[in-house]
Chains A and B, each alone.
Chain A
């Protein structure tokens, strides 16, 4: 143990040196030229605030999806690869509900608001049930199998759901705007908030009257507010309720929790229900924010959210939120001040750097031999 530990430190030192070399010497190539960036900020300081708004809004969506990853990992130590795709189904569910209820064509503000609330509820319920069903079908029987088995079945579920999304996007009878180009292409998620504000005669940019060259749209605000509400609710649920306590106990030690009379299956089902519900809510939020429904969007969002969960410390709920916002901000600032080509590299370099010095993530707890 002692010798391996020493060896590990050396390796860590070497990698850290390499990362610092890349950041400081190769940084200017990617546009990480600090004086240039500083000059850009000085020339237009308001834009910094703008990037902050964009970063937080994007980060909020990532954070909510990340919660689903981190909760499931905390309880059963499974990376639920299908989670990102449940979020994609959330986008399609809410779009379909909006279409079927006639909200998409409506210009009546009351009807739009009611339609959106109804879509939110249906998306949450549908995705919660879907996620719990996935657990029941694909993971429960493998709970005591080697770690790799549920992981592979999770990847399998991910492909199955992606293909359901592909088929769903081809059903123009459900949502006429899907058109005739088949399920593979990106679909429009109509800008319901824009339509709502136009029908009320309000400007979608809440800061328009301030005279500042800033855009804080109702979309940004809704995404941020909804995210904060959901996260606070989740935090209080896990900390204050009996079921939340049972979840924490199960996460700490499944066998001991069982011995104390906690129904493990019920706790795990509840975890998947909550994670799926959050993904469904994130689906509606992302649809309203980015106005896109695409069968492939779950994969991208899943990768980003998983990164966020690891960055914040997988298994830790606050960490998942923090990681989500951090990734949103990093991507926004990189797009804004550096070359967009390097945004992904920057996000993952940050992940590597943080994991080097805090292998359990920013707020990760010591998981000991579990990891």
Chain B
């Protein structure tokens, strides 16, 4: 037994040494590395897999080369979720950021998906060069824009004083506001707000709350839910009589799908009926097929969700071409975030080319970061847009989708 074990062990050791040797010889030449850090264990995978696919697609279109073939570009998709949490894990995201900071060949960090995760990695990457970070999906406003109620918080994310974080998606100060106006336009006068108590979910719910009160919607209640609860029947029972003995006209949920979003909807429908009677509206965190699959086509029928940008079939020509290429390679595309993933890789490659064109060294992280922030009137898959000094893209469209026959369908674009 022990002899055989020893034999197997030694074969394994020799095999691994041989493999390691192969790896060492293969890595010669000037290589730039781009990594993404997205939650790939948990319900968000439905969204993040399409983002990773899109990033890979953009890189393949460039032949994995930059600056006229002088540099080879490698891309690695890192997971910032853990099986223990079933969603993004603060410990893993911090580890990813530190790992990226320590690897000098990495010149761009594409991520994160969750705003709470970005809050952790921005300061680490900012102090490492700064290593530029481009997010396809973070929508919490405070990551880039100072909040008048929380002075100094945004600046504290950038210890070197240089901005190193940018995003290609419109923030929740726009999303929450547009959502409140949208709910009012549905004819609702009373609304109950629930959030998942995360930076993103609570952030967008708070903006919704403030805007709702400004435009004359009555906020019956605003609560945070336990994202691990087995069910929400008691909570929904309470809400069903919260508006002077009856249910409110609408419920707004600020949350991501990983935080038990489908269960929340199931219990709402079980207690208060379908989504025509009491409207159910959420942000981009629940605009994914995984949400509908989890709740069922009949239960989720009529749910509204907003996503920054325009519907996939309304994209500019470059975007439509992307959808075509993506579909040819990976099959049908319904998830809204793939095009944002594509655009982040687009931005990273553009920055590398710009540095080379200016005679700079693309292995210099600071140079790449400045090149990202210098992007103006960029003709990308999302349209023609620019980054402002905070790192926000000049894109403010917000599209609402509604579940019909088990799929999200665009119902209109707002500003």
Genuine A/B complex: yes
Most buried by B among A55, A179, A297, A304: A179
A294 to B87, CA, bound (A): 13
**Contacting B43 at CB < 8 Å: which of A54, A186, A301?**
A186
- Measured CB to CB, the closest approach of chain B to A91, in angstroms, equals 11
Q: Is the CB of B262 within 8 A of A340?
A: no
Quick one: which of A54, A290, A296, A304 contacts B237, CB cutoff 8 A?
Answer: A54
Contacts of A343 in B (CB 8 A): 226, 229
Interface of chain B residues 251 through 269 with chain A (CB within 8 A): 257, 260, 262-263, 266-267
* B225 pairs with A301, CB closer than 8 A: no
Alpha-carbon distance A303/B230, docked complex (angstroms): 11
A171 at the interface (CB under 8 A from B): no
Q: Is A299 among interface residues, defined by CB-CB distance under 8 A?
A: yes
Chain A residues, CB < 8 A from B33: none
Which of A225-233, A329-337, A359-367 interfaces with chain B? Answer: A329-337
B296 at interface, CB cutoff 8 A: yes
Q: Which of B41, B266, B289 interacts with A181 by CB under 8 Å?
A: B289
Within 8 A of B (CB), among A128-163: 159, 162-163
Expressed in whole angstroms, the minimum distance between the Cβ of B49 and any Cβ of chain A is 7
Which residues of chain A have C-beta atoms less than 8 A from B44's C-beta?
184
Q: Which residue of B lies closest to A184 (CB)?
A: B45
Contact call A188/B237, Cβ cutoff below 8 A: no
Q: Are B83 and A336 in contact (CB under 8 A)?
A: no
- The answer, yes or no, to whether B211 is at the interface (CB within 8 Å) is no
Do the beta carbons of A290 and B230 come within 8 Å of each other? yes
For window 94-138 of A, CB contacts with B under 8 Å fall at: none
For the complex, what is the distance from the CA of A295 to the CA of B290, rounded to whole Å?
Answer: 14
Q: Please state if B290 and A186 are interface contacts (CB–CB under 8 Å).
A: yes
Which residues between 262 and 320 of chain A lie within 8 Å of chain B, taking CB atoms? 286, 289-292, 294-297, 299-301, 303-304
Given contacts A289-B231, A304-B230, A340-B226, contact A181 B238 (CB under 8 A): no
B293's partner among A185, A297, A301, A336 (CB-CB below 8 A) is A185
A339 touches B86 (CB 8 A): no
Asked if B290 and A300 make an inter-chain contact with CB atoms under 8 angstroms apart, the answer reads: no
Interface string of A170-184 (1 = CB under 8 A from B): 000000011111101
Does A332 lie within 8 Å of B234, measured CB to CB? yes
Task: Using A47-B241, A159-B83, A341-B223 as known contacts, say yes or no to A188 and B46 having CB atoms under 8 A apart.
Answer: no
Q: Which residues of A contact B46 (CB under 8 A)?
A: 181-182, 184-185
Nearest chain A CB to B202's CB is how many angstroms away?
A: 10
Would A162 and B231 be within 8 Å (CB), given that A44-B241, A187-B294 are in contact?
Answer: no
- B293 near A179: Cβ-Cβ < 8 Å: yes
Q: How large is the interface on A (under 10, 10 to 19, 20 to 34, 35 or more residues)?
A: 35 or more
Chain B residues lying within 8 Å of A54, measured Cβ to Cβ, are 233-234, 237
**B162: min CB distance to chain A, Å:** 37
Q: Are A335 and B235 in contact (CB under 8 A)?
A: yes
CB distance from A337 to the nearest CB of B (A): 8
B264 to chain A, nearest CB (A): 10
A109 vs B138: C-alpha distance when bound (angstroms)? 49
Whole-angstrom CA separation of A340 from B229 in the bound complex:
10
User: Are A58 and B45 in contact, with the CB atoms below 8 A?
Assistant: no
Q: B414 at the A/B interface (Cβ < 8 Å)?
A: no
> Given A47-B241, A185-B43, A186-B294, are A339 and B231 also a contact pair (CB < 8 Å)?
no
Nearest residue (CB) in A for B40 is A184
Interface residue? A69 (CB, 8 A) = no
A292, B237: Cβ atoms closer than 8 Å: no
Q: Could you list some 11 contacts between A and B, CB below 8 A?
A: A182-B290, A185-B45, A186-B43, A188-B295, A190-B296, A292-B263, A303-B228, A335-B234, A340-B194, A340-B223, A341-B225
Beyond contacts A177-B293, A182-B49, A332-B234: 19 other A-B pairs, Cβ-Cβ < 8 A, are A47-B237, A55-B234, A162-B83, A178-B293, A181-B289, A182-B45, A184-B41, A184-B44, A186-B290, A186-B293, A187-B293, A190-B296, A286-B230, A291-B296, A292-B266, A299-B84, A340-B223, A341-B223, A343-B229
Which residues of B does A touch, CB under 8 Å?
Answer: 41-46, 49, 83-84, 86, 194, 197, 223-226, 228-235, 237-238, 241, 245, 257, 260, 262-263, 266-267, 271, 288-291, 293-296, 299
